[in-house]
Amino acid sequence: MTPLWIGVAGIGAVLMLPSCSEQPQKRSPTEQEIHAGDSAVPSGKPGRHLYQCDDDRTLLVDFKDKGLTVELRRDAGASAIVLTAPSQGLQYVGDAISATFSGNEIKVEAARKRPVICRKVTSQ
């Protein structure tokens, strides 16, 4: 083999290496990741989302601080319950209350009360 052919073969081998490398597995984003960049939603409120709960009430969830803080309200005029998470993908906690997201659901657990499951209301 001539030095030219050795060089061409070497370049070809190097170019093929990236196509052989394993691609990272894509996972579904967490609720926090989805809402970390929220700047506006159809309601006009930054990061605000409506959920319908199994106790026949609604829950407004406001995502703040790049998804690490949520504010829970039963209606727009109610005082907020503020919960925080140390990092994305973890449970939100506050004074005697916690919230966990799973898909389009949020489970809210408060001391001495039954857990409430709420599903995100989607626009039709």
Residue 5: predicted pLDDT: 56
| More confident site: 81 or 89 | 81
Domain 31-120 has CATH 2.40.128: yes
Question: 10 - beta bridge partners?
Answer: none
Amino acid symbol at 34: I
39-58 pLDDT, tens per residue?
A: 434 444 567 899 999 999 99
Q: Give the least confident one: 21-30, 37-46, 66-75.
A: 37-46
1-14 pLDDT, tens per residue?
A: 565 555 555 565 55
**Extents of the domains making up the chain:** 31-120
* Closest C-alpha to 71, from 44, 51, 43, 42: 51
